């Protein structure tokens, strides 16, 4: 018979997490309006703590055999909805980009890139990051395939290489931002460029943390070839971030150069 602990963990925490996200958003508005920072840190602390406890409960449920087929399918559907929301988010960024780039206004010299802007060379750091991206996608696929084939040593090595490549991407992106000759305040080009690449970089960091979490679970022996849903979610998220970068590189770097 299922314990109340798992039932509470499954139903209560998602509602509480949603309320904490709303609380954090409210605290950010208060900070921007009145400069009160305590509420932001407190809401963020409670949110992180709640997510940690809920995630721990979900892991215990799965390892104890409490996840039915219907529940697993609901997890998958929820994650797909999350990915869809991310697609819409980046689609809005590209919408703004093409609206400005395909019909440049007089204010930007009627050309793209705008007059006075020295865009980032796409054959420098961006090309290096693209190569790193393709390599980390390959090592992540390697790790997944070795898990499915039950090769215990290779899956850890390949996933660790993926984490190293992710760090290299983040470091190179930091150097690019630091050496860029324009800023986010330089008109529509600067705003769209940093908004798109900056949020992509933030997603890379989130994906890096997600993969790191799954790496430790892999080391601790939580996954098998038949049960590794968390790892699959991390793989899907990571490949989504990779696809976004391909579009960013093609249009915001190479096409705009």
Look at the chain and report how many structural domains it folds into.
2
Same domain, yes or no: 92 and 113 = yes
Q: Would you give per-residue pLDDT tens digits along the chain (257 residues)? A: 444 444 444 545 566 677 777 888 888 888 888 888 888 899 889 888 888 888 888 888 888 877 788 888 888 998 999 999 999 999 999 999 999 999 888 877 788 988 889 999 999 999 999 999 999 899 999 999 999 988 777 889 999 999 999 999 999 999 999 999 999 999 899 999 999 999 999 999 999 999 999 999 999 988 888 889 999 999 999 999 999 999 999 999 999 98
Residue that terminates a domain, selected from 67, 85, 100: 67
Same domain, yes or no: 206 and 111 = yes
Same domain, yes or no: 177 and 104 = yes
Same domain, yes or no: 182 and 242 = yes
Same domain, yes or no: 26 and 81 = no
Residue that terminates a domain, selected from 52, 67, 82: 67
Q: Which CATH number do you get for residue 245? A: 1.20.120.80
What sign results for the dihedral spanned by CA atoms 235, 240, 246, 249? negative
Residue that terminates a domain, selected from 67, 89, 121: 67
Same domain, yes or no: 83 and 167 = yes
Domain that holds residue 53: 1-67
User: Three-state DSSP class for 43?
Assistant: helix
Same domain, yes or no: 249 and 223 = yes
Same domain, yes or no: 248 and 140 = yes
Question: What distance in Å separates the CA atoms of residue 35 and residue 42, rounded to the nearest whole number?
Answer: 15
Same domain, yes or no: 23 and 119 = no
Same domain, yes or no: 132 and 244 = yes
Q: Cβ contacts of residue 49 below 8 Å, gap of 6+?
A: none
Could you tell me if 136 and 162 are in contact, meaning their C-beta atoms sit under 8 angstroms apart? Answer: yes
Residue count of the chain, please give it.
257
- Distance, C-alpha 75 to centroid of its chain: 18
Residue 113 has what DSSP assignment?
S
């Amino acid at each position: 018979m299922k314990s109340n602990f798992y039932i509470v963990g499954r139903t209560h925490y998602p509602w509480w997490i949603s309320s904490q996200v709303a609380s954090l958003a409210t605290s950010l508005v208060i900070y921007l309006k009145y400069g009160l920072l305590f509420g932001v840190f407190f809401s963020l602390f409670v949110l992180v703590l709640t997510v940690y406890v809920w995630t721990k409960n979900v892991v215990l449920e799965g390892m104890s055999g409490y996840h039915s087929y219907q529940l697993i399918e609901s997890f998958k559907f929820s994650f797909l909805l999350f990915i869809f929301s991310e697609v819409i988010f980046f689609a809005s960024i590209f919408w703004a980009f093409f609206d400005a780039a395909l019909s440049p206004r007089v204010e930007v010299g009627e050309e793209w890139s705008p007059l006075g802007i020295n865009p980032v060379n796409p054959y420098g750091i961006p090309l290096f990051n693209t190569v790193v991206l393709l390599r980390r996608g390959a090592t992540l696929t390697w790790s997944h395939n070795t898990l499915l084939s039950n090769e215990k040593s290779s899956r850890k090595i390949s996933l660790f290489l993926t984490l190293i490549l992710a760090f290299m991407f983040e470091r190179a992106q930091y150097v690019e931002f630091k050496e860029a000759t324009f800023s986010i305040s330089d008109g529509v080009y600067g705003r769209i460029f940093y908004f798109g690449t900056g949020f992509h970089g933030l997603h890379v960091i989130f994906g890096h943390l997600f993969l790191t979490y799954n790496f430790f679970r892999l080391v601790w022996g939580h996954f098998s070839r038949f049960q590794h849903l968390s790892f699959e979610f991390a793989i899907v998220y990571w490949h989504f971030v990779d696809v976004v970068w391909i579009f960013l590189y093609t249009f915001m770097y190479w096409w705009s150069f």
